Structure formats: structure tokens, C-alpha cells
Structure 1
């Protein structure tokens, strides 16, 4: 199978399970650079979305529905074994919409969908970022770069990410849908004890879509970036069991 533009590296043929990871608003697949490539039998596969990093020349995806349709077209050939999807905050909703698209097309559903720091679709849009000015978003991006290990990013880099984040946040604003159906797989709803962006108490609406296990882990909104052991084990066991 030829290399897909949706991945930074080709999925392995010998992986027993796959975990497709959607990046956070404004970011690309490299935001998962601190994550391991394997969680036991599970291969971790960050997705590269259009309009960022090595796909920065491509236009923005527009809406989560349009993105989900394109993602499924791109990864359909890799749904040949048990898999899951993961998204945090601005990555959770397109991850979930992709699961619904997979269901609509009658393709093999995931074993589990992991949604972190995000309210259910019928309860949004929600988030402080949605109301920030351009200067406010610049400040947040600088903080995010710090979390990723780049204390003082060049201004041109911040400008580039700002354009992508602005378009991503607009997609978030436009994504509102009632809990009128059922997802084709169970959910693991991940909250964070000290997350002031999306308090875990607001995440109960996911249970209207599917059987939902909720877990609250120690940490803040950005703790997931560092691949905390508790999260990694939840992802592994949620797919493999045991």
C-alpha cells in the first residue's frame, strides 16, 4: 500500500490494533511527538490534517463533516483490524464525526472512541478559545508551544498556526448536532482533574450517544501532550482489554 498523506509514517502491517489520533485545534500530527509509537499491541497513528505542517499548502478542510468524509476516504484501507480513534478538545469532535461517517458508510466500526476534554456535540460549542481575540489566541499559541518544548517560537510560526487555529475554531463553532442517533462503538470519556478549559463535569452528554465509561485523570488541559502513563494505559486497555 502506498504512503498516505494522512500519516507521517506508514502504518505497520504487523500491528494487532491501531489507534488513529486527531490533533488539537491549530496543530498537526507532530503534536503527538512525545507519545510512544506503540502501546503494547496497539500502534499509535497521529493523523496529519490538511493545511498544516507538511500539508500546509493544502486548503483548510472547512467543516468537521467535510473533514470526516476525507479522513475516511484516506484511512479506509487501514480499517482491516481492530482499531480505535482518539481526540482531545478540538480533536475530539472531528474524531467522533469520523466514527459517525464510518457508520454511515457501513465500514468496520472502531472498537472504541476516546474523547478527551470536550463536551458532547449537542452541548456545544464550548470553550474559552472560541471567544478569544487574535491577540488572545496568539498568547495561547505561545503557551502551547511552550508545552511542546519551544519556549520562544518565531513570530512567523505563530502567524502560521494562528491562521490554522482560527479556521479550526470556526469549524468547532459550526458543529452542533442533536443526540439523535447512536454511535457504533462504546466511548471512553476522559476528563482532567484540573482542566479549567473544559471541566469534566460538563462531559456527561456523551452518554446519550453510546455506552460511555468516564474517567477523570490527574492533570490539566495540556497534560495529555506528555503521554501520561494513566492515559496511555487507558487507551491500551480500552482496545485490547485486560
Structure 2
């Protein structure tokens, strides 16, 4: 694939460029590639490649992926031609789980591993069942959708909430079905990010990632659970400093 001229596959919402490194970004449950809409301007010296999972936004008509294992297996097919330069993965919250599974599948096929796997605000795969959202009822999840929309400065319309809830419920089912009993290490360094003002994820909840790579670096950033979306300075420094 010639990066400067080829059309981006459906998994990626931005045209490919000739920048010297790529950052593939995995969204959290209920969201899509638009979670990273502020990043290309903020990280202008790296190619930001938000991953668009099927069943949302411009892929709303595509069948939902069902499980994280299916998602990772399908994504690898489109990733393989794009690994011709240094790259890293960034994944927030539950998006860290299919990102991790994708790294394992790249390794199994003998494909390059990312230079870094950044995981943000998410316990390790074998601890994923501790996610508080897995205990929430549908009305509680609806309230979560409304709160998130308001937090982005938008007054939630009923149709907006219903669509967001539909996506979240399907993603929520995939999260509930995910099980990895034993850690399996990835062949790349892992950087684990904790957001200081995150009320639901504590530093102790993230310690399980120590078993997932030979090199695991823990960082604490100022902000709340969704502040990554604005690419704050400290995060931007980390995401451009791995090359």
C-alpha cells in the first residue's frame, strides 16, 4: 500500500499520510473514532489513526463486532499493510482490551509489534471484570450516556441518547463476555496511564498490567476520565516522545 495515495480502509476515518510514524487510537465503550477528533491538530508531527469499530458513527450500518477477540482478528487484516513505519497503540478504558488482543494477534502472525502500547484508565485484562460499568443497569447506563454528552458541552436530545445507549449496550455485552484468566505478555513496552481525578479507577486497580510486558511504565496525569479527548500537554508529550 502506498500511504500517500491509498484510500483508508473502513477501520480508519482519516486519509493516510506520509508522516514518519503512526498512532492507532482505540476508543472506549459506547464511543467511536470521533473521541479523538481533537488529536490530529494537537499531535501534528505524528499521524493520528483513530480506529473506527463497526456498529457506530460512519459504520453504524455494519454488524457489531460481538467480541473483543473477533474485533482484534478482523482489525489485524486492515492493520497489516499500515505497519511499514514506527507505530504505537493508544487505548482508553475498555478500548485497551481489544488493543491488547490486537497486539497478541500481530505477534502470532509474525507482524511488527507497536513501539508502545499506551493503556489509559483501564485495569489489566485479567482484572477487567472489576469494571464498575459491568454492574450497571440499563437506566444507569442511560444516565451515563446523558452525563457524558453534557460533559462535552452538548444538551442531550432523546434520539442522541437512544443511539448512544444502543451502541453502549452492545459494547457493554462484549465487555461482559471478555475473559482472560492468565496474563499473556506482549512483545512491546506498555505505558499505563492513570488520571488523577478519575473517580472510578484507582492506581491500585492498574497494577495488574505489571505482568503484561517486560517493560511497564506507570504514569499519573492531571485530569478526569475523559480528559484524554482534549490531548492535554502532558499526554501529548508522552504520545510524541516514544519514537
Which TM-score tier does this pair reach, normalised by the shorter chain? over 0.9
The reply on whether 1:9 has 2:11 as its aligned counterpart is no
| Range that drifts further, 36-45 or 71-80 | 36-45
- 1:96-115, aligned counterparts within 5 Å? 96-115=100-119
The residue aligned with 2:3 is: none
Separation in 2, partners of 1:231, 1:25: 21
Deviating runs (4+, > 6 A) in structure 1?
none
Q: TM-score, normalised by structure 2?
A: 0.93
- 1:29-44, aligned counterparts within 5 Å? 29-37=33-41, 39=43, 41-44=45-48
| Range that drifts further, 139-148 or 109-118 | 139-148
Aligned pair in 2 of structure 1 residues 114, 69: CA closer, same or farther (>3 Å)?
same
Give the C-alpha shift of residue 200 in structure 1: 2.0
The reply on whether 1:187 has 2:206 as its aligned counterpart is no
Separation in 1, partners of 2:108, 2:96: 19
The reply on whether 1:201 has 2:207 as its aligned counterpart is no
Contact 2:113 2:188 in 1 (8 A): yes
The reply on whether 1:28 has 2:32 as its aligned counterpart is yes
Give the C-alpha shift of residue 138 in structure 1: 1.1
| Range that drifts further, 109-118 or 156-165 | 156-165
Q: TM-score, normalised by structure 1?
A: 0.93
- SS of the residue corresponding to residue 74 of structure 2 reads helix
Contact 1:121 1:176 in 2 (8 A): yes
Separation in 2, partners of 1:106, 1:54: 31
The residue aligned with 1:160 is: 163
Counterpart of 1:229 (choices 217, 227, 233) is 233
Number of residues of Structure 1 aligned to a counterpart in Structure 2: 237
Q: For structure 2, list consecutive stretches of 5 or more residues without a partner in the other structure.
A: 1-5
Separation in 1, partners of 2:184, 2:40: 34
Q: For structure 1, list consecutive stretches of 5 or more residues without a partner in the other structure.
A: none
Per-residue CA deviation, residues 136-184 of structure 1 (Å, 9 max, x unaligned), is 111111111123332x122112111111111111111222213343201
Contact 2:93 2:122 in 1 (8 A): yes
Give the C-alpha shift of residue 37 in structure 1: 4.2
Separation in 1, partners of 2:131, 2:184: 24
The reply on whether 1:176 has 2:183 as its aligned counterpart is no
Per-residue CA deviation, residues 58-108 of structure 1 (Å, 9 max, x unaligned), is 111010000001111112111111100111112111111111111111101
Aligned pair in 2 of structure 1 residues 57, 28: CA closer, same or farther (>3 Å)?
same
